[in-house]
Structure 1
Amino acid sequence: MNHRVVNGLRIVWVIVTLWYELGVFFKSVSSCNWPDAVLRSSPHVTNTPSHVLLIADPQILDHRSYPERGPFLTYLSRLVVDLNLRKAWWVALRKQPDVVIFLGDMMDGGRIDMTDDEYEDYYQRFNHIFRLPSGLPTYFIPGNHDIGLRASSLFSPHARSRYQSHFGYLNSWILVANHTFVLLDAPTFVEEDEQRVKSGHAYQDWTPRHGGPIEFVTTVARGENQNYPIVLMSHIPLARTSFDCGPLREKGTIRPGAALGYQNTLGKEATAFLLETLHPSVVFSGDDHDYCENYHTSGWRGATTRVREISVKSFSMAMGIKKPGFQLLSLVSPIHGEDDQKTLADVPCFLPDQMSIYLSTYIPLLLVSLFIVLGSNALRVHTLPPKRSRRLSSPHPRRGDDASEDRMTSLPQPVSVRTPKSGSRPQIPSSFVLFGRRRHIMCFDLLRHCLTLCRTSRRLNSEGLWFGFLRDSRDIAVFPLTVFVAISFWITIT
């Protein structure tokens, strides 16, 4: 029976491991497709849509991320989160995007003051997790965890230059399907806007910092691509009058707030400057970690327009949300003269709840499995006949023994035999002499035999129970652990 139990649990664990370590990731993205159908519904669309994959806040951990957990738990957390990021990235790339854009906070400690060698190792770890197919255009915008926000002794004075040498420009724009993507350095924009506010100048009177975000935004708005639809990318969400985030948000909302190293939203004047200068068709942001769909109002060409902003979910399981995610954006080139043409559409994709898998699947299944293994071994040991000597197996004395006992005299035993040795247990008499014949007390014999058998059986059964329990647990665990290691290795090298 034990063999069948072990094999059955092996099969269950292998199936569960395959499904929850790989299958659920495929399932989560298989039902999430590029929103091309929305664009193809227009009779004017004849070209194939371009596809942009948006990734927000992967924020890969380092040894400083959880100082309260201690070195071992911090290292274990990093391994678990890195593996989850690898699997999520592996299935996200199965969507075969044409362009990838990271919306900031690539590394949790990218802004921290560290040696160049340590930063290089950190950056290479990011590249190893997010391996890119050859020739896939990839762009980054800085987040507050990448370059810092406001001065601090904890932040590296070289954070911005270090970011530029590894990830690219702080501010840039690209053209995708005749849409201008404005990639804004939001943390530096916040700092420059604070300087403007302290000086008491309005935007039209402010002399922009050379090479800064305000100068960049003004240049893009006056550039040759101003007639194309603009897609604004900002790590920090825009200010808002409504705090409704829609039904896809897990909890709470995005509210104004700021402290050392972060700011929840841009200022109201800064938001108005971006909307009225760029007139974006849509805004994508990050930083908040949870999904949020919000609308802003902007005046353009004498009319009030609504601008949709999407705060993309964090790609990491370690950012305080149950289900990480990413965004799929489809675009088609606008047709001249078709002002009402829909040229872009997006859809969120949600990844599995990794913590729920651990807490609601693996741990309960582990407890049930241990209970089954313990129960099957207890049943096995209970039905196993204990080893007995021939004499102990028969409580009745043999006939020859009776005859020899009859011939015994009633003389008392020598003192050396009668007196027990110091420290030895006193023996319970099992016979007595009456009228010159030795008489047996059968109940004492039976009691002594029972006590001996119980002690022997308890010792043998106890050893067999725990040894079998540990052996069976090991034999079961080796199969799912092998599958887990194989999947992890496969995801790492592919």
Structure 2
Amino acid sequence: MILKRGLAYTRRPRAAIRMLRLSWVLLLFIGEVGLYYWHISRCQWPTNGTKGTNISQVAIIADPQIVDHYSYGQSGLLLRITQFFTDIYIRKSYLLLQDIRSPATVIFLGDLMDGGREWDDSAWLSEYHGRYQSIFSNRDPANRRVYDMAGNHDIGIGNTIIPEALQRFHRYVGPTNQVIDVGGHSIVLLDTLTLESDDPVVSSSSRHLVQWLQDERIEDGSVLPRLLFTHVPMWRPDKTPCGSLRQSKHPYLLNRRGYQFRDQLFQNTTEHLLDAIQPAAIFSGDDHDTCTVEHQIHATERSVPEYTIGAFGWASGVPIASYGLLTLYHSSQGNQSFILQHCYLPYQLGIYKCYASSFAFSLLLLAYACWCQRKHHWNGSDDERVASGRSDAIEQGWRVQQQQSLLPTASSGQYIYPRGIKRRLALDVLRGASSVALVAVPSYIAFILLFYIV
């Protein structure tokens, strides 16, 4: 009988464990799968409401900047952990963006990798082919065109362009200057990084493209509406507000300059591009946050909107990652030829905070359940053995001793519980948590693997 009662101490609170197992599976499914589906599904292609029009749909992604040891000065296991959690976020987001929204064209606005400009060829090729292309795999290459622009993290900027990195980008990724016709628009992918270099060998391709665009506009006034894409945003007057969608503590775009970066193009570069190209709109990245401003084209007195797209990763210094959905209407379909929709991805730090608070709550719930169960046994729960006639003197003496130990003392007024109760409770909670983890951890792994096998 005493052995039977001792075994009763080790019983885990099965009801609490079953509830926690189910709760964790549901929580992990929501955090790792459901929220991604919900965010991407709710942000739909923008439309002007006109039915039956000929349209093209373009997804715009800025600054994925896959993490490496140049990002935070990490190495070894800590770097691997950071890479895993940042990579899986981007992988899930891009996979679902393709499957749910099915863009015909995807444009990356540069900064593909964080330390790409610093790597030698072998390290860069390993990261690009083994990691970047795996994360950003084109799931429908027959019907989807993908264009990668260069960022300052890829090749440098201005007079600090790294020639080897620029040549490598051309060789393995593609040209840094392109003009493509999509949906009745001329999309200009302009390498403004090399444009501001004083080295004519470095800047010649960009300068020739700008000159060609200017000549074409002058010679043929019926050119398609132009959409200018640049990695670095255009210059604007200090503290020009960015609009209500901005998340940063600064409601405007800064204008800093440092090693291999600048927040804005030079003023003279901006004015020259606006006058020469005369775009209908400008799309930029680099800042990691959303910003919308209006520029004036001095030659025509016309204003042009610039849309800065937020970074696609969650470790970019902005709380919520984002991307853009651009609908293009063929120029013959009325005056409004394009519409942009800013879209937002899950708040990953918020998800992890939810996991942490849920873990703490789970431990408290298990501790309470274990406490209640042990207290129930201490309070003489052997009455069934007495009723069945199987109690003996030894057992009765044990019950008396147990009941006396639960009586309040004269000095403290507190119940005196058996020795080692804290240790026993801790072991009970540990066993319960392990039992929950046996279901929760495989569920988490399964939800992650889902995005590697589909």
Counterparts of 2:128 and 2:231, CA distance in 1: 19
Counterparts of 1:71 and 1:364, CA distance in 2: 28
- Shift of residue 468, structure 1, vs aligned partner: 2.0
Counterparts of 1:179 and 1:140, CA distance in 2: 18
Q: How does 1:339-358 map to 2 (within 5 A)?
A: 341-358=335-352
SS at match of 1:255: coil
Unpaired runs of at least 5, structure 2: 1-11, 383-390, 399-414
Residue of structure 1 equivalent to 2:227 = 231
SS at match of 1:239: coil
Amino acid aligned to 2:111: D
Amino acid aligned to 2:85: V
- Shift of residue 382, structure 1, vs aligned partner: 2.8
- Shift of residue 475, structure 1, vs aligned partner: 1.2
Counterparts of 2:426 and 2:438, CA distance in 1: 18
SS at match of 2:241: coil
Amino acid aligned to 1:352: P
Counterparts of 2:202 and 2:394, CA distance in 1: 102
Is it true that 1:23 corresponds to 2:34 in the alignment?
yes
SS at match of 1:346: strand
Contact 2:194 2:203 in 1 (8 A): no
Q: Deviations over 1:291-349 (max 9, x none)?
A: 0011001134xx411100000010000101111011001112112xx8x6111111010
Counterparts of 2:311 and 2:392, CA distance in 1: 70
Is it true that 1:145 corresponds to 2:153 in the alignment?
yes
Contact 1:374 1:469 in 2 (8 A): yes
- Shift of residue 64, structure 1, vs aligned partner: 2.7
Report how many aligned residue pairs link the two structures.
Answer: 407
Residue of structure 1 equivalent to 2:259 = 260
Contact 1:150 1:260 in 2 (8 A): no
Is it true that 1:488 corresponds to 2:448 in the alignment?
yes
Contact 1:65 1:74 in 2 (8 A): no
SS at match of 2:197: helix
Contact 2:159 2:197 in 1 (8 A): no
Q: How does 1:6-405 map to 2 (within 5 A)?
A: 6-36=17-47, 38=48, 40=50, 46-67=52-73, 69-93=74-98, 94-114=100-120, 116-124=121-129, 125-133=131-139, 134-135=141-142, 136-150=144-158, 157-192=163-198, 211-223=204-216, 227-241=223-237, 243-251=240-248, 252=250, 253-300=252-299, 303-335=300-332, 341-359=335-353, 361-385=354-378, 394=397
TM-score by length of 2: 0.84
SS at match of 1:64: helix
Counterparts of 1:209 and 1:151, CA distance in 2: 9
Contact 1:328 1:347 in 2 (8 A): yes
Distance 1:149 1:210, change over 3 A: closer
TM-score by length of 1: 0.77
Identity %: 27
- Shift of residue 284, structure 1, vs aligned partner: 0.2
Residue from 414, 421, 427 that aligns with 1:467: 427
Distance 1:372 1:25, change over 3 A: same
Counterparts of 1:389 and 1:473, CA distance in 2: 37
Contact 1:234 1:284 in 2 (8 A): yes
SS at match of 1:30: helix
Higher radius of gyration, 1 or 2: 1
- Shift of residue 150, structure 1, vs aligned partner: 5.0
Counterparts of 1:235 and 1:455, CA distance in 2: 71
Distance 1:139 1:458, change over 3 A: same
Counterparts of 1:131 and 1:77, CA distance in 2: 21
Alignment RMSD = 2.6
- Shift of residue 79, structure 1, vs aligned partner: 0.7
Contact 1:290 1:311 in 2 (8 A): yes
Counterparts of 2:80 and 2:135, CA distance in 1: 16
